[in-house]
Amino acid sequence: MEFPAEPFKIKVVEPLHMSTREERARLIQEVGYNVFNLPSESILIDLLTDSGTSAMSDNQWAGISMGDESYAGSRNYYNFERTVRDIFGFQHIIPTHQGRMAENLLFSIVLKPGQVIPNNTHFDTTRANIEHKGGKALDLIIDEGLDPNSEHPFKGNMHLERLKDLILERGKEQIPLVMITITNNSAGGQPVSMDNIRETSQLCHEHGIPLLFDACRFAENCFLIKEREEGYSDKSVKEIAAELFSLGQGCTMSAKKDGLVNIGGFLALDSDLWTQQATNLLILIEGFPTYGGLAGRDLEAMSRGLQEVLNEDYLRFRINQIRYLGEQLISEGIPIVKPVGGHAVYLNAKEFLPHIPQEQFPGQALTVALYREAGIRAVEIGSLMFAHEDEETGETHYPELELVRLAVPRRVYTSMHMNYVAKSIVGVYRNRDQIKGLRIVEEPPFLRHFSARLEEVP
Ligand SMILES: Cc1ncc(COP(=O)(O)O)c(C=O)c1O
């Protein structure tokens, strides 16, 4: 097991509050057993998300003070545009305040009710944006991607046969675009291989359907291609990214991940027509095309972050830090999704808590236990997030995987923090029989996991 040494020094520190178990047990009950409702000050190690939680570099902070806050034509926009073109290669770049706005713009212009958007696995905001416009979001991941114990090196891959069958069945009129999410967050942060992307691209091309990427974690995906796919070990991550994006016609991006910023995103497109339509809508709901929903200083930080994320010392540390956490858990017999993915370790809650049935949200129950016992905030990616009722039969469909994601913010926690997390999880595992299932007492119509309230099942 390699001990990953941080390739940076710490210049500013943020104190953490050391809460007690008693405090946390009271708080989690008060907030309806939903960790999204907790005040962040009550958390010791926050692994809720790697989104918008990165520590920015001195270079990015310097960029923040170079903000040109002109309404139109800010120099920071041009820096940002140059960086995105240089890395991603797409023609048009539309800044947005975060990824879901890029999704909203895209699906508002391309999607008609009843149409289908296939993806390896849709992230929840992508799925919600599609469904909100009357479309159907289909997950077509390879079978290994749904097996937490499969060691396939590219478990995020698209299932090409199923995609082909779908295209033959529905035709291009019913499929305005195909998406690939890199890395595949909802299925364990697993990478997609260049080979799979190339074949998906060819299939789409044969049928005249555009291929777009959900590119949030493109650098991590490209680093894993470099590590795992034949023929890429001598290529730079930037070269791999250039090849990957040349296989598609655009992307949505939440720069809150591999943009190393706390806020920001964009929609990048080759199509002039789609760009014109998206820009018109952008002005209506987000902002002028040279700032999107952002300040000039945010665009500068994003531009610099996108360049920094390609630094391979950083990426090696990043991937190894996650792997280091995962390997400690594996060596203690804790069930996690294997191999360890790009940005997070995913606990397999079905195996961790076999005594809790899916309708009692084992993933959420484990999330609650991690907070109560150790002050660690993780997130459920299972039934609370994805179970839904069939419109025709009224039957509840449960997701195949019942996961708890420990997403590690970029450049925030040290490898010593990872030791604390691993030891705490081992402690929870030893007492897992004590953990109770949960039931919902209140839920909103969309994205219920963000605000639902639950209670323990006695
Ligand atoms: C794969 C994926 N797509 C889209 C998004 C949405 O991005 P944002 O939170 O910036 O709206 C996320 C956020 O976590 C994500 O992981």
Measured from the CB, is residue 100 less than 6 Å from ligand 1?
A: yes
pLDDT score for 447: 78
Q: Is the pLDDT of residue 2 over 80?
A: no
With vertex at residue 289, the alpha carbon angle to CA 285 and CA 292, rounded to the nearest 5 degrees, is 55
Q: Is the pLDDT of residue 389 over 90?
A: no
Measured from the CB, is residue 279 less than 6 Å from ligand 1?
A: no
Measured from the CB, is residue 254 less than 6 Å from ligand 1?
A: yes
Q: Is the pLDDT of residue 73 over 80?
A: yes
Give the residue, 387 or 299, on which the prediction is more confident: 299
What's the CA-to-centroid distance between 98 and ligand 1, angstroms? 8
Q: Taking residues 208-220, report their average pLDDT.
A: 98
262 is written with which tokens? 């706390």
Measured from the CB, is residue 373 less than 6 Å from ligand 1?
A: no
pLDDT score for 445: 82
pLDDT score for 353: 98
Nearest residue (by CA) to ligand 1, atom 5, is 99
What's the CA-to-centroid distance between 21 and ligand 1, angstroms? 32
Measured from the CB, is residue 265 less than 6 Å from ligand 1?
A: yes
Q: Taking residues 304-326, report their average pLDDT.
A: 97
Q: Is the pLDDT of residue 4 over 90?
A: no
CA distances to 252, 253, 273, 307, 355 from 91, rounded to whole Å, are 13, 15, 12, 18, 53
276 is written with which tokens? 């014109």
pLDDT score for 388: 84
Nearest residue (by CA) to ligand 1, atom 13, is 51
Indicate the pLDDT class of residue 254, thresholds 50, 70 and 90: very high
Q: Taking residues 60-86, report their average pLDDT.
A: 98
Residue pair 163/178 in contact by the 8 Å Cβ criterion: yes
pLDDT score for 429: 98
Q: What is the 3-state secondary structure (H, E, C) of the chain?
A: CCCCCCCCCCCCCCCCCCCCHHHHHHHHHHCCCCHHHCCHHHCCEECCCCCCCCCCCHHHHHHHCCCCCCCCCCHHHHHHHHHHHHHHCCCEEEEECCHHHHHHHHHHHHCCCCCEEEECCCCHHHHHHHHHCCCEEEECECHHHHCCCCCCCCCCCECHHHHHHHHHHHHHHHCCCEEEECCEHHHCCECCCHHHHHHHHHHHHHCCCCEEEECCCHHHHHHHHHHHCCCCCCCCHHHHHHHHHCCCCEEEEECCCCCCCCCCEEEEECCHHHHHHHHHHHHHHCCCCCCCCCCHHHHHHHHHHHHHCCCHHHHHHHHHHHHHHHHHHHHCCCCECCCCCCCEEEEEHHHHCCCCCHHHCHHHHHHHHHHHHHCEECEEECHHHHCEECCCCCCEECCCCCEEEEECCCCCCCHHHHHHHHHHHHHHHHCHHHCCCEEEEECCCCCHHHCCEEEECC
pLDDT score for 391: 79
Beta-carbon contacts of residue 311 (< 8 Å; ≥ 6 apart): none
Ligand 1: residue of 53, 185, 266, 298 to mutate (most ligand atoms within 8 A of CB) is: 185
Q: Which amino acid is at 413?
A: Y
Ligand 1: residue of 216, 261, 266, 346 to mutate (most ligand atoms within 8 A of CB) is: 216
Indicate the pLDDT class of residue 90, thresholds 50, 70 and 90: very high
Q: Taking residues 45-64, report their average pLDDT.
A: 98
Measured from the CB, is residue 54 less than 6 Å from ligand 1?
A: no
Measured from the CB, is residue 184 less than 6 Å from ligand 1?
A: no
Ligand 1: residue of 257, 258, 380 to mutate (most ligand atoms within 8 A of CB) is: 257
pLDDT digit string, tens, across residues 121-175: 999 899 999 999 999 999 999 999 989 889 999 999 999 999 999 999 999 999 9
Measured from the CB, is residue 186 less than 6 Å from ligand 1?
A: no
pLDDT score for 383: 93
Q: Which segment of 32-36, 60-64, 123-127 scores lowest on mean pLDDT?
A: 123-127
Measured from the CB, is residue 266 less than 6 Å from ligand 1?
A: no
Measured from the CB, is residue 181 less than 6 Å from ligand 1?
A: yes
Q: Which segment of 37-41, 87-91, 162-166, 383-387 scores lowest on mean pLDDT?
A: 383-387
Indicate the pLDDT class of residue 50, thresholds 50, 70 and 90: very high
pLDDT digit string, tens, across residues 102-116: 999 999 999 999 999
What's the CA-to-centroid distance between 264 and ligand 1, angstroms? 11
Residue 205 neighbours by CB distance under 10 Å: 13
Nearest residue (by CA) to ligand 1, atom 9, is 99
What's the CA-to-centroid distance between 291 and ligand 1, angstroms? 20
Tokens 């920071």: give the residue. Answer: 76
What's the CA-to-centroid distance between 298 and ligand 1, angstroms? 18
Residue 69 neighbours by CB distance under 10 Å: 10
Share of the chain above pLDDT 70, in %: 100
Which atom of ligand 1 lies nearest, measured to the CA of 51? 14
Nearest residue (by CA) to ligand 1, atom 15, is 123
Nearest residue (by CA) to ligand 1, atom 16, is 185
What's the CA-to-centroid distance between 49 and ligand 1, angstroms? 10
Which atom of ligand 1 lies nearest, measured to the CA of 183? 1
pLDDT score for 158: 98
Which atom of ligand 1 lies nearest, measured to the CA of 185? 1
d(CA 248, CA 252): 12
Measured from the CB, is residue 341 less than 6 Å from ligand 1?
A: no
When the pLDDT of each residue in the chain is averaged and rounded to a whole number, the result is 96
Cis peptide before 183 (omega within 30 of 0): yes
Share of the chain above pLDDT 90, in %: 91
pLDDT score for 308: 98
Measured from the CB, is residue 76 less than 6 Å from ligand 1?
A: no
Q: Is the pLDDT of residue 446 over 80?
A: no
Measured from the CB, is residue 290 less than 6 Å from ligand 1?
A: no
pLDDT score for 206: 97
Nearest residue (by CA) to ligand 1, atom 14, is 51
Q: Based on the number of CB atoms within 10 Å of its own CB, is 395 exposed (0-12), middle (13-18) or buried (19 or more)?
A: exposed
Q: Taking residues 30-51, report their average pLDDT.
A: 96
